[in-house]
Structure 1
């Protein structure tokens, strides 16, 4: 006969390990969600900046200056602006989430002008 082993407490270790995995998955999901939200904010800021730039050009003002002002109002910074005729191309950047070692800024591009 073999002696009976005491297995009390083994379920506690299993539950602790599962909780650790769940916390890690939740943190990763939170980072991904924050990055998606920041990218959507960048795209919205780029679209609005391009529209403001095109509107400024149509009214005889500096389109890139108008785009930079609208980007700033949307908590983004204008990274690039190009005017070709009456079309404004912009690239804006927003700060990405700074969780779990993420340091990247997110960029978005947009273009606006009159219909051809």
Structure 2
């Protein structure tokens, strides 16, 4: 008869290894989801900041200040604001926590009135 005393606990070690692997995969997936959610949030903030800036420009107010206010409300930083005629182009960024290796997510948006019918872009 062969003794299996040396194999005692092998299933426990294998199960712990699989649980560790599962936790590693779950952590990586959570990180990826966090990056995607962050990018969506930054892009939404850029879109809203550009719309606010374009609206302020049409109302003869300071467009970049309006864009910066909306960006800060969404907890992102306005890094660029350029006015070209009646259009406003804004850039924003969000510094991610150190959990994400201190990465920065950037977003950009442009807003202004629709071009008249019959012109390019309609």
- Alignment correspondent of 1:19: 19
Partner of 2:119 in structure 1? none
Which structure 2 residues correspond to residues 82-101 of structure 1 after superposition, within 5 A? 82-99=82-99
SS in 2 for 1:114: coil
Q: Which moved more, 1:28-37 or 1:46-55?
A: 28-37
Of 88-97 and 104-113, more deviation after overlay is shown by: 88-97
1:34 and 1:97 in contact (8 A); partners too: no
Q: Distance in 1 between matches of 2:95 and 2:68?
A: 16
TM-score (norm 2): 0.87
Which 4+ stretches in 1 moved above 6 angstroms?
Answer: none
Unaligned ranges ≥5, structure 2? 116-122
Q: TM-score with structure 1 length normalisation?
A: 0.91
Matched residues, number: 114
What is aligned with 1:49?
49
Match of 2:106 in 1: 107
Shift of 1:50: 0.1
